[in-house]
């Protein structure tokens, strides 16, 4: 034993233990995010509980089991909760999501296992996804089409009517976003044009009349579309469904608020799988609802991708040029040394500092100057002098510059110098050698750097909070109105979405699964990008290794 300790073997095992802990945490973390993120889309059973609460009486509860924990009974009695007599040292309690937010005080409720008299899973229990107030659970009693109850299979009729109302909702939305949206956009542009003429002193009576005329035309068009919109909305309000909820009351749900109805207890595994895929698709393609705590994350995905691509366009040339300078042109000396320290430091400066810098320098100074030079008509309302997607992209471009530089330089250093010498010997100039030989050979490395930069930027939140991200952006930075790219607009971002929904929303408990799903999406994208980059890099290494021999 003593010898064994002397040999140092226990300490080696301790270090091995550290590796195991690291591995467990990495893999455990990823698996947990994946599990918690994906389970959000899986239809879970709805239970009907008979509950007896000491001192209050019996009641019925319908809902999903959301969480379960076992706690010492003492802790509960300390909190003044009355337990039934024969409770052991521990008691299990369930967190039940009851939905029906407008009719109950709390849509999440802790229920002690000892208080549950019975638990059933009736196949007829329906889950209504609604555009307002979250889920609704209950039994479908009757379906009402155009004022008359539907006869026959009410579930089939319900599905048909929901399809109809959601089609109408889609129509209304597209009308609102494209036609009406572009009229509003045009009106605003005209207002600014008029104001610009005032500022220049060129506003003649002629032009005023012109503006008036076109404004009138636009307003007339607007009226037409608005009438159409109201018509569609009225159509969508036509039907309703009567549902019996857990209080035993009949509740009338207008179908224009119902997005989907499912009977999870009645589903077999294939139904559930189909539903899972459908929910996943809806999550990726839908707009958020209810202050981001429900619905999809499409605008956040779009905003993230748009910003990251803009950033890639900015960072690539600078990063590659800097790497080429460092590797191909720079001579050993104090300047180069300082440059390398600058690169290391750019990589090490906390991201929030970039945010502060971006806000002060890009937004207020650069953006402010752009506004006073090019958009005087909109002042004092800022155009570029306020956080926006362009400034976010530039700020993150500086932040990710070192990533591109380091990666490109590594690629350059792997290209054997014989290749360069060969090119020079054949009479090419250095620039030509670089352009024709070196850069093409280094392009996978540049690609690697770019992918890593994109992955880094996609996950960065702190600086974006200062330079352009918002909790809910009414318009995407890309739309059908000229000039199509609206770089001054604010945008939504997946990472910020996680922070916002997880920590700023009023009902964190309800939003938590959605946050896990968003986190899973973000992690998948980022880990995927990283693995791709590592793959490309390893491939490159192998390739050049064979070149050297």
Partner 1 sequence: MSSDFTLTSDTSRKVKDQLARYSVTTGGLLVLVALLLIFFYLLYVVEPIFHPAEVKAKDQFTLPQTANTLAIGMEEQTEIGYAFSDDIAVTFFNLRHIEQTSQTPGKVLHQQQFEHSGELSSFAQSSSVQRLFAYGFDNGEVLIVRPQFAVSFPNDIRQLVPEINFVAGEQAIEIDSEGEALSQLAIEKSSDTIAIAAHTADGRLLISHLLGEENFMTDEIEWSAQTAEIDDAPEQIDTLKISSNLAYLFLQSGNQLYIYNIRDIDEVELTQQMAVNAQDANVTTMNLLSGGSSVMVGNDNGVISQWFEIRADGGRTFVNAREFKSGHAIEQIVPEFYRKSFFTVSKNGHLGIYFTTSDATLFDEKLKSKSISHIAIAPRSNAALVQTAEGMQLYEVKNEHPEVTWKALWQEVWYEGYPEPSYTWQSTSADDDFESKFSLVPIAFGTIKAAFYAMLFAVPIALASAIYTAYFMSSGLRKTVKPTIEIMEALPTVILGFLAGLWLAPIIEDNLPGIVLLLIVLPVTIITTAFAWHKAPKQWRQKIPEGWDSIVLIPIILFVSYLAFSFSNELEILLFDGNTRGFLTNELGISFDQRNSLVVGIAMGFAVIPTIFSIAEDAIFSVPKHLSNGSLALGATSWQTLVRVVLLTASPGIFSAVMMGLGRAVGETMIVLMATGNTPIMDWNIFEGMRTLSANIAVEMPESEVGSSHYRILFLAAFVLFIFTFMFNTVAEFVRQRLREKYSSL
Cα–Cα dist 478/519, whole Å: 25
Other beta carbons less than 10 A from residue 452's beta carbon: 21
Cα–Cα nearest to 297, from 517, 478, 449 = 517
Give the residue with the Cβ less far from partner 1, 244 or 340: 340
CB 112, CB 120: distance < 8 Å? no
Scan residues 198-257 and list those touching partner 1 (CB under 8 A): none
- Minimal distance in Å, beta carbon 420 to partner 1? 4
Cα–Cα dist 304/518, whole Å: 12
Other beta carbons less than 10 A from residue 529's beta carbon: 20
Residues in the chain: 549
Scan residues 400-419 and list those touching partner 1 (CB under 8 A): 401, 405, 417
- Minimal distance in Å, beta carbon 428 to partner 1? 8
- Minimal distance in Å, beta carbon 72 to partner 1? 4
Scan residues 298-357 and list those touching partner 1 (CB under 8 A): 317-318, 321-322, 324-330, 335, 338-357
For partner 1, which residue of 141, 260, 432, 479 counts as binding (CB under 8 A)? 432
Q: Beta-strand (E) ranges in 342-497?
A: none
Cα–Cα dist 288/472, whole Å: 9
Cα–Cα dist 436/439, whole Å: 7
Q: What are phi and psi of 100, to 5 degrees?
A: 45, 50
For partner 1, which residue of 183, 251, 396, 461 counts as binding (CB under 8 A)? 461
Q: Is 456 in the site for partner 1 (CB under 8 A)?
A: yes
Scan residues 86-115 and list those touching partner 1 (CB under 8 A): 89-90
Give the residue with the Cβ less far from partner 1, 224 or 547: 547
If binding means CB under 8 A, how many residues of this protein chain bind partner 1? 115
For partner 1, which residue of 27, 31, 224, 277 counts as binding (CB under 8 A)? 27
Say whether 108 sits in a helix, a strand or coil. strand
Q: Which stretch binds partner 1 (CB under 8 A): 103-111, 261-269, 287-295, 429-437?
A: 429-437
- Minimal distance in Å, beta carbon 45 to partner 1? 24
CB 366, CB 378: distance < 8 Å? no
Give the residue with the Cβ less far from partner 1, 250 or 341: 341
Task: Name residue, tokens 């920590």.
Answer: 503
Residue 514 token pair? 């959605």
Give the residue with the Cβ less far from partner 1, 18 or 224: 18
- Minimal distance in Å, beta carbon 89 to partner 1? 6
Scan residues 34-93 and list those touching partner 1 (CB under 8 A): 69-75, 78, 89-90
Scan residues 489-528 and list those touching partner 1 (CB under 8 A): 495-496, 498-499, 502-503, 508, 512, 515, 519, 522-523, 526-527
Give the residue with the Cβ less far from partner 1, 245 or 460: 460
Q: Beta-strand (E) ranges in 54-102?
A: 57-72, 90-97
Q: What are phi and psi of 125, to 5 degrees?
A: -65, 130
């Amino acid at each position: 034993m003593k010898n064994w300790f002397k040999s140092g073997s226990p300490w080696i095992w301790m270090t091995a233990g550290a590796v195991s802990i690291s591995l467990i945490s990495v893999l455990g973390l990823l698996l947990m995010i994946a599990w918690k993120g994906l389970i959000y889309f899986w239809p879970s059973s709805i239970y009907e509980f008979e509950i007896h609460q000491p001192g209050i009486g019996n009641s019925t509860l319908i809902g999903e089991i959301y969480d379960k924990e076992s706690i010492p009974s003492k802790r509960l009695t300390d909190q003044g909760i009355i337990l039934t007599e024969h409770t052991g040292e521990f008691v299990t309690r369930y967190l039940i999501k009851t939905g029906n937010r407008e009719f109950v005080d709390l849509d999440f409720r802790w229920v002690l296992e000892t208080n549950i008299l019975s638990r059933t899973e009736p196949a007829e229990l329906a889950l209504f996804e609604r555009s307002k107030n979250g889920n609704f659970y209950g039994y479908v009693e009757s379906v009402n089409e155009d004022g008359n109850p539907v006869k026959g299979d009410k579930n089939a009729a319900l599905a048909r009517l929901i399809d109809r109302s959601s089609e109408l909702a889609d129509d209304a939305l597209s009308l609102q976003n494209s036609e009406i949206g572009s009229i509003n956009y045009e009106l605003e542009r005209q207002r600014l044009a008029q104001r610009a003429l005032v500022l220049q002193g060129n506003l003649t009576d002629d032009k005023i009349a012109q503006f008036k005329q076109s404004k009138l035309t636009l307003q007339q068009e607007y009226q037409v579309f608005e009438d159409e919109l109201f018509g569609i909305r009225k159509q969508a309000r036509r039907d309703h469904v009567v549902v019996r909820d857990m209080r035993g009351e009949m509740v009338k749900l207008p179908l224009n608020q119902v997005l989907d109805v499912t009977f999870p207890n009645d589903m077999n595994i294939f139904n559930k799988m189909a539903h899972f895929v459908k929910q996943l698709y809806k999550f990726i393609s839908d707009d958020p609802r209810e202050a981001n705590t429900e619905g999809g994350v499409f605008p956040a995905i779009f905003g993230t991708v748009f910003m990251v691509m803009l950033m890639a366009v900015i960072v690539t040339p600078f990063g590659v040029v800097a790497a080429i300078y460092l590797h191909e042109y720079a001579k050993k000396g104090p300047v180069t040394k300082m440059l390398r320290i600058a690169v290391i430091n750019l990589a090490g400066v906390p991201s929030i500092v970039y945010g502060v810098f971006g806000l002060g320098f890009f937004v207020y100074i650069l953006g402010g100057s752009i506004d006073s030079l090019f958009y005087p008509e909109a002042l004092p309302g800022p155009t570029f002098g306020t956080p926006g997607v362009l400034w976010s992209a530039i700020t993150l471009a500086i932040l990710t510059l070192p990533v591109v530089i380091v990666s490109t330089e590594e690629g350059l250093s792997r290209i054997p110098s014989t290749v360069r010498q060969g090119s020079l010997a054949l009479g090419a100039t250095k620039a030509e050698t670089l352009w024709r030989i070196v850069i093409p050979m280094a392009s996978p490395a540049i690609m690697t750097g770019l992918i890593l930069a994109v992955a880094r930027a996609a996950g960065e939140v702190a600086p974006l909070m200062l330079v352009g991200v918002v909790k809910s952006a009414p318009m995407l930075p890309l739309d059908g109105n000229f000039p199509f790219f609206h770089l001054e607009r604010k945008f939504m971002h997946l990472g910020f979405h996680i922070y916002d929904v997880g920590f700023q929303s009023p009902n964190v408990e309800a939003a938590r699964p959605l946050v896990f799903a968003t986190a899973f999406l973000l992690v998948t994208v980022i880990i995927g990008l990283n693995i791709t980059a590592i793959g490309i890099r390893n491939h490159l290494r192998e390739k050049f290794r064979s070149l050297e021999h």
